[in-house]
Amino acid sequence: MSLISGLKNSIAFLTIVPVGMDADGVAQAALYMPLFPFIGTAIGLIVGVCVWLLEMIFPLLLSALIGMGLLLLINGVQHMDGLLDFGDGLMFHGSRSGKLKVMRDPTTGAGGFALGLVVFLVAAVSIAAIPSAQIVVSLIVSEASAVFAMVLAAAAGKSAHKGMNTLFVAAMHRQRGLRLSLSYVIILAVSFLALRSIGLMVVVGATLTALGMVLVSNRNFGGLTGDVLGATNEIARTGSLLLVLVLLKWA
C-alpha cells in the first residue's frame, strides 16, 4: 500500500471528488486517518477562496451560506447526516440500545433537525462575520481542525458496535501514540502557519471538542459510531469558526 494510494482513498472517503476508491478503500482510508488534516486543509482552501470571491459580489451572509452549502457538497453531506442522527440519538429517552436504534433510523426527528440547524447557522454566521482578509486562512484552519477532531476521537474512544467506525477506531489504536502525534504535528503546523497563535488556540478547542464528544458518546451510546464521528466533524468545525471569530475580535 503506497502513500499515494492511501491519500487517494482518503480523499474518496471524505469527499465527492471523483478520484476513485479501491476495493479496500475504506480500510486504506482508516490506516491513513492521521493524514486527514491535509485533506481538510485542501477543502478549507477551496471553500475559503470561493467565499472570498463571493463576498465581492454578494452580501456577506449569503456568501457564507453558499460557502457552507459548497462545503457540505464537497463532503458529500455525510458528516451532516451523522450530526442529524447524533441529535436524534441524544434526544431519545431510553436505553443505549434504543438510542443506537434511533440513530440508525433513516428518518430525521426534531432533535436531529434542531441540532443540525443550530450548528449550520452558527457556522454560516461566523463565516459571514470573519473579516474578508482572514476568511481563507480561517476556513483552512477550521476544516483541518474539524477532520483532526475525528482523528482524535477515534484515537481516544472505543466502538459502540461493529461497523465502519470500527475500522477507524482500530486503526488509530494501533500505534496510537505515533499516529496521533503525526496528526497533531500536521494540524499544529497548518494552524500556526495560517493563523499563528490564534490557530494554536483553535487546535486546543478542537481537542476539547473531540474529547467532549467521546465522553458524551460513551455515556449515551456506549462508545463511538460513524454518526458520532461525523457529528464530531460538524461540531468541531462550527466551534473552530466561532473561536476564530472571537479571537480575531480580541486581537
Using one digit for the tens of pLDDT, what is the confidence trace for 127-184?
999 999 999 999 999 999 999 999 999 999 999 998 889 999 999 999 999 999 999 9
73 — pLDDT class (breaks 50, 70, 90): very high
Rounded to whole angstroms, the Cα distance separating 85 from 104 reads 7
Nearest-CA neighbor of 204 among 240, 178, 173? 240
- pLDDT, tens digit (0-9, with 9 covering 90-100), for 182-238: 999 999 999 999 999 999 999 999 999 999 999 999 999 999 999 999 999 999 999
d(C-alpha 245, C-alpha 243), whole Å: 5
Cα angle value 55/59/64 (rounded, 5°) = 65
Nearest to 58 by CA among 131, 133, 128, 119: 128
- Cα–Cα nearest to 243, from 163, 150, 131, 123: 123
Segments making up each domain of the chain, as ranges = 3-250
Average pLDDT, the chain: 96
pTM: 0.97
First to last CA, the chain: 45
- Count CB atoms within 10 A of the CB of residue 216: 16
